[in-house]
């Protein structure tokens, strides 16, 4: 599983960070960014929670 944040949709609420701070960070511009590469197996549930928590549907699972 890989994820990325669609910056056209992201509004910087930060809900994703609340669910999985190991994968999502906020950039200086105030938008979320997902860590590159495959999501470690032990963080998949937390990332799925972040996907559900995002009010903008800005997290894209690849
Ligand atoms: S929850 Fe969604 S809209 Fe909010 S910062 Fe995270 S990716 Fe962006």
Report helix, strand or coil for 1.
Answer: coil
The secondary element (H helix, E strand) that includes residue 18 is helix 15-19
23's tokens: 């994968």
Q: Is 8 helix (H, G, I), strand (E, B) or coil?
A: coil
pTM of the model: 0.94
Can you tell me which atom of ligand 1 is nearest the CA of 56?
3
Q: What is the pLDDT along the chain (62 residues), one digit of tens a residue?
A: 999 999 999 999 999 999 999 999 999 999 999 999 999 999 999 999 999 999 999 999 99
Atom of ligand 1 nearest to the CA of 12: 5
Residue in the structure block whose two tokens are 């997902």: 34
Q: How far is the CA of 11 from the centre of ligand 1 (A)?
A: 6
> Considering its fold, how many domains does the chain have in total?
1
Cα(1) to ligand 1 centroid in Å equals: 18
> Which CATH number is 13's domain given?
3.30.70.20
Domain span at 24: 3-61
Q: Three-state DSSP class for 7? A: coil
């Amino acid at each position: 599983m890989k994820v990325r944040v669609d910056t056209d949709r992201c509004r910087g609420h930060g809900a994703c960070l609340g669910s999985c701070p190991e994968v999502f960070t906020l950039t200086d511009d105030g938008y979320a960014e997902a860590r590159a590469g495959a999501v470690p197996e032990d963080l998949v549930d937390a990332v799925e929670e972040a996907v559900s928590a995002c009010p903008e549907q800005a997290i894209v699972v690849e």
